[in-house]
Amino acid sequence: MRRQGFTVIELLIVMAIIGLLAGIAIPRLSNTKERAQLAAMKSDLRNLVTVEENYFLENMRYTADPGSAYAASLGNRLPTITVTGDGWTALITSPNTAQTCAVFIGSTGLAPATTEGAPACANGGSTTVLP
């Protein structure tokens, strides 16, 4: 007797293996978009640090409005910049994530950033610091 095709058992085993692999892969990939959004927010803050320092070198002061010298990435809101006595702080958000990222220059810190010039992001107590 010659067999053509697959048996029901063989098909069920293959479907179970595919389901198991999908069960492992999907949770790992589910927050990829948010991680990319956080990376873009941190990159925007690093770019803002460069723009602010260039402005400081030319004008001997920081600015809350960098104008056309700075633009946020697509999907990110422009950061809220506050000039302080010896520097500045900035907070950036995105409609695509609940997390916020911050950076500061000078002695006035802004949570979640804890190190001057190093952007950090947080959501409900967990903080991600830029390496």
- Is residue 113 a part of any domain in this protein? yes
Residue pLDDT, tens place only, 72-120: 999 899 999 999 999 999 999 999 889 999 999 999 999 999 999 999 9
- Is residue 76 a part of any domain in this protein? yes
Number of domains in the chain: 1
Choice among 21-25, 39-43, 115-119, 123-127 with the minimum mean pLDDT: 123-127
Buried b (16+ CB within 10 A) or exposed e, 64-103: eebeeebebeeebeebebebeeebbbbbbbbeebebbbbb
- Is residue 75 a part of any domain in this protein? yes
Say whether pTM exceeds 0.85: no
- Is residue 56 a part of any domain in this protein? yes
DSSP 8-class letter at 60 = S
Res 111: pLDDT: 92
More confident residue, 1 or 34: 34
Average pLDDT for 16-38: 88
- Is residue 67 a part of any domain in this protein? yes
Helix (H) or strand (E) holding 52: helix 32-59
- Is residue 7 a part of any domain in this protein? no
More confident residue, 33 or 82: 82
- Is residue 63 a part of any domain in this protein? yes
Res 1: pLDDT: 65
- Enclosing domain of residue 52: 33-129
Residue pLDDT, tens place only, 110-120: 999 999 999 99
- Is residue 89 a part of any domain in this protein? yes
pLDDT band at 21 (very low <50, low <70, confident <90, very high): very high
